[in-house]
């Protein structure tokens, strides 16, 4: 993408796109000081894949600076349809990124700290669960907080959940970066996780952590 392209006024709408990055390019820096990070985002299904051209300018270029092909990201920004310069009869989707969050594949066992039910978001039933998971690495143990958000019919998955129970969750978690006392921290959230179960009174439970 050229710097002039950034200034073009085209009809657009703000939307979200979640998928896997492909063909991540090195950041381009212009004489004006502006910079852009380009990539392709693959979403949709195997049968009907959808490609979106990603343009991350300036601050967003910094956010995606170390992004790698194959990583899963959620992007928010202005989405436009533009004509293919090689074939004007074809169009491609374009997103100018305004917000970006990486997803990481996580499998955790954690203790339920709180459950909030009866909530709604955009007129959809919602349940929020806060979990502390413990992980062992190099002979030491660390704890990490996770949020679980259940929407619609998925709220029924938590009907038997209680504070203090151990649960196991396996799915993609959305990463939110924030600053706390000048230190950058990451909050992780599961949304309608595909795999989520109470850890029974078994060897797994005996080996699970207590917080």
**Which CATH superfamily, name and number, covers 103-207?**
Nucleic acid-binding proteins (2.40.50.140)
Name the pLDDT band for 75 (thresholds 50, 70, 90): very high
- The rounded distance, in Å, linking the Cα atoms of 52 and 147 is 29
Can 3-101 and 103-207 be said to share one CATH topology? yes
Give the pLDDT confidence score for residue 209 in this predicted structure.
38
pLDDT for residue 88 is more than 80: no
Q: Specify the CATH class of 3-101 in words.
A: mainly beta
Residue 91: alpha-carbon gap to chain centroid: 27
Q: What angle do CA 124, 130, 136 make, to 5 degrees?
A: 140
Q: Tokens 């299904």 identify what position?
A: 45
Q: How far is CA 68 from CA 38, 60, 94, in A?
A: 12, 15, 19
The string of pLDDT tens digits covering residues 160-197 is 899 999 999 999 999 987 667 677 677 899 999 999 99
Q: Would you call 37 helix, strand, or coil by DSSP?
A: strand
Total-model pTM: 0.77
Percent of the chain as helix, strand, coil, to the nearest 5: 10, 65, 25
Phi, psi of 147 (to 5 degrees): -105, 140
- The rounded distance, in Å, linking the Cα atoms of 175 and 158 is 22
Higher pLDDT, 82 or 115: 115
pLDDT for residue 205 is more than 50: no
Q: Among 53, 63, 56, 66, which residue's Cα sits nearest to residue 97?
A: 56
Give the pLDDT confidence score for residue 207 in this predicted structure.
38
Determine contact, residues 35/2, Cβ cutoff 8 Å.
no
Phi, psi of 159 (to 5 degrees): -60, -30
Question: Which DSSP helix (H) or strand (E) runs through 203?
Answer: helix 203-207
pLDDT for residue 117 is more than 70: yes
Give the start-to-end residue ranges of the domains of the chain: 3-101, 103-207
pLDDT for residue 138 is more than 50: yes
Positive or negative, the Cα torsion across 73, 78, 80, 82? negative
The string of pLDDT tens digits covering residues 32-72 is 999 999 999 999 888 999 999 999 999 999 999 999 999 99
Give the pLDDT confidence score for residue 206 in this predicted structure.
37
């Amino acid at each position: 993408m050229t710097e002039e392209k950034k200034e073009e006024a085209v009809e657009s709408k703000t939307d979200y796109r979640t998928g896997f990055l492909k063909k991540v390019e090195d950041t381009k820096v212009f004489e004006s000081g502006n910079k852009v990070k380009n990539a392709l985002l693959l979403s949709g299904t195997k049968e009907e894949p959808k490609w979106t051209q990603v343009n991350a300018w300036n601050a967003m270029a910094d956010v995606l600076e170390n992004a790698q092909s194959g990583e899963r990201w959620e992007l928010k920004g202005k989405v436009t349809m533009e004509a293919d310069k090689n074939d004007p009869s074809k169009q491609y989707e374009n997103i100018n990124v305004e917000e970006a969050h990486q997803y990481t594949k996580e499998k955790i066992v954690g203790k339920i700290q709180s459950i909030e039910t009866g909530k709604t978001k955009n007129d959809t039933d919602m349940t929020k669960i806060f979990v502390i998971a413990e992980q062992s690495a190099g002979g030491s143990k660390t704890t990490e907080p996770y949020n679980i958000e259940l929407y619609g019919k998925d709220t029924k998955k938590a009907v038997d959940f209680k504070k203090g129970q151990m649960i196991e969750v396996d799915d993609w978690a959305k990463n939110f970066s924030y600053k706390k006392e000048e230190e950058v921290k990451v909050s992780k959230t599961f949304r309608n996780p595909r795999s989520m179960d109470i850890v029974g009174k078994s060897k797994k439970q005996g080996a699970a952590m207590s917080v």
